[in-house]
Chains A and B, each alone.
Chain A
Amino acid sequence: MKPIRRESDHPVKPRVTPEPFVIPDHLDEELFDKTGEQWYFETIEQTEYGVDPFGEGLTPDAYWAEGWNLSYYQADRSNACGHDDALHRMFPTRYRLADFDLSRSFRRVLKNNADLECVVRPFRPTPAKDELDQIHCYSRFRETKAPLSTIYAKLRYRPAPIRELTVFHPTRGLIAFTLIEVGENASYALRTAWNPDERKRSLGTFTFLKAVEYARSLGFEHHYVGPTLLADPAFSYKLRFPACELYDWDANDWVASESERAKAMFAAPFPRRRWDTETEDWAK
C-alpha cells in the first residue's frame, strides 16, 4: 500500500464549494459622442464564480482553452479593455509549442543572456521579487500593483501549481522572473517582471523564451500568456512571437495571429447601441 501522495502546492483543500453561476454578457461600457447621445458597446465581461479548483475532472487547460483566466474560486474573461480613453478589443493569446521555431533575433537574445542563471522552482514571494515587481510595474505601466506577498494567499490556491522561473545575474542578483501556472497539457504565464536597467538584454523576451522552453520540456501543447491588446505595446508585443493564436470570440475557437481572420478581428468595431431617452428604449 502506497502512502497518500501529497500535492505540495495545494496543502489545504477548501471544503465549501458554492454552486457555480455565470454573469451573462451585458452592456456595460458607455460613451457620449459629440452630439451628447449616449451609446453602449456590446462587450463580453464574464465571471464564473464557484469554480472548485479541486473539483472532480476540472482541468485548468479546459478553461484556458475558452479564454478564461482562472483564479481562486473564480474564472474571468473579457473581450474589451480601455486604453487611452478608448475601448479596444482584447484577445486571449496562446502559442502552439510544436510550431514554436526560434528566429535568428530570438536566438540572439538567448545567446546574449547566456551568462544568466535560470531556475524553475515552486513559487515563493520574496522581498527581492516584490521590489523588482514594483519597479517593473511602474516603469512599464506607470502604476503599482499589490505586492506578490500580499496576493500570495490567492495565488497559492489557484487550480494549478505555480512555478517561478527566476533569472539571476552572477553579480547583480535577481534581475527577472516570471510566474507560470502549470496545467495538465498547457502552461499559463501569470506575471513577469524584469529590471528596467537591463533593457539591452531584452529580458522580457528572454523570460518568455525560457518559459516556452520550460513548457516544451514538459511536453505541453500550448503556452498561454493572457490577453493581447493591439493598441498597447505593453500587450501587443505578444504578437511578435511565432505560432501565436488568438481567441476568436465569435467562433469560440483559436485562429493564427497572422491570418486574415485575426486582422479582421482586431479591426472590427464593437457593436454599439444607442439608448433613446425619449422612448426609453434602444434606438432603432
Chain B
Amino acid sequence: MTEKDKLRLFDLALAREIIRMDRDELLQFVFSREEQLKAMSPRRSVFIYSGDRPPKRTTEMVFDQFFNEDPAEVRQMLIQDLCYPNEPCEIDYYARCGYLDHPSSVYVDRESDSGAISSLDMLPQSDDPDACYWTGRFDVLDRDHIAIMSASLKKNRDKLPAEEYAAQLLTLRSMEKTLESNPDLRAAYIFN
C-alpha cells in the first residue's frame, strides 16, 4: 500500500485543556510554553514563528493577530505544536487494517473517554474550511486499539519480512506500555 498512515503519542489531557481555555488563559499558557515553542524549528511551530514577523513583534501581538482571525485555528496550531510528545512512526498495512476493520474504530463514548475519537469531533471547528490541514485528520486511540493492531500484525506475520515485523511489533508494544503507564496519553492515528 502506498498510503503511509502514522501513529504518534498524543497528549489528550493537554489537548482538552487547550480547547477549554479562554483567551486570557490561553495567552498565559502560550507565555508559559514560549521557550518550548520558540525552540521548535520554524517549520514545526507554526504558531510562534511567522515568516513576515518583524523583529519588534511580540508573542502577544502574534497571538492577538491569530486569535482575532480565528480562535479555533490557534487552538489547533497549539495542539499540533505541543500535544505530540514523540515523532510519528509509520504503521504497517496489516497493523492498520487490524484497527480500521475493527468496530471499535467507530465507537465513541465521550463520557468514559473510551473508544476512538475523530479529530473532527474533538478539535474546535474553524470558520476556515481548510483549517484542519494544520493538523491533518487523525483518530485518537487508546491502548486497546494498539493491542488490536499488534494482534493483526501477529496474525499476518508470515506476510512480512522478519525484520520489518519485529520492528513494527516493537514500536506497537512500546507504545502500548507507554499508554498503560500514562493515563493522560493516547495515540493519534494520522491519516496521511
Contacts and interface: CB of A to CB of B under 8 A. Distances in A.
B137 A129 contact: no
A277 interface: no
Interface string A1-22: 1110111100100000000000
A85 B82 CA distance: 64
Contact of B106 (A2, A5, A128, A168): A168
A8 B103 contact: no
B148 to A, nearest CB: 12
Contact of B97 (A117, A126, A152): A126
B101 A3 contact: no
A166 B107 CA distance: 12
A89 B138 CA distance: 44
Interface string A156-191: 100000000010111101100000000000000000
Chain A to chain B: the 5 pairs with minimum beta-carbon distance, closest first: A1-B51, A128-B101, A168-B103, A117-B106, A5-B133
A174 B101 contact: yes
A171 B139 CA distance: 21
The contact size tier of chain A is 20 to 34
A8 B106 contact: no
Nearest to A6: B133
B107 A117 contact: yes
B191 A127 contact: no
Contacts of A2: 46
A11 B133 CA distance: 13
Nearest to A132: B101
B46 A156 contact: no
Interface string B97-137: 10011110111000000000010000000000010010011
B101 A173 contact: yes
Interface in B79-107: 96-97, 100-103, 105-107
B50 interface: yes
A117 B103 contact: yes
Interface in A101-156: 117-119, 121-122, 124-129, 149, 152-153, 156
18 contacts: A1-B52, A2-B46, A6-B136, A8-B133, A8-B136, A121-B118, A121-B139, A122-B191, A124-B96, A124-B97, A124-B100, A125-B1, A127-B97, A152-B2, A166-B106, A168-B105, A169-B103, A171-B103
B57 interface: no
Interface in B18-67: 43, 46, 50-52
A122 B5 CA distance: 11
Contacts of B137: 8, 121-122
A172 to B, nearest CB: 9
B101 A1 contact: no
A129 B1 CA distance: 14
A3 B76 CA distance: 14
A231 to B, nearest CB: 36
Nearest to B96: A124
Contact of A149 (B1, B5, B133): B1
B52 A118 contact: no
B192 A11 contact: yes
B3 interface: yes
A156 B97 contact: no
A161 to B, nearest CB: 10
Nearest to B103: A168
Q: Count chain B CB atoms within 10 A of each CB in A118, A124, A168 and give the residue with the most.
A: A124
Nearest to B102: A173
Given A2-B46, A3-B43, A156-B2, A126 B191 contact: no
Contacts of B192: 8, 11
Contacts of B107: 117
A100 B96 CA distance: 36
Contacts of A122: 137, 191
Contacts of B102: 173
A8 B97 CA distance: 19
A151 to B, nearest CB: 12
Interface in A217-261: none
Contacts of B2: 152-153, 156
Contacts of B133: 5-8
B46 A3 contact: yes
Nearest to B101: A128
A8 B191 contact: yes
Contact of B3 (A156, A169, A173, A174): A156
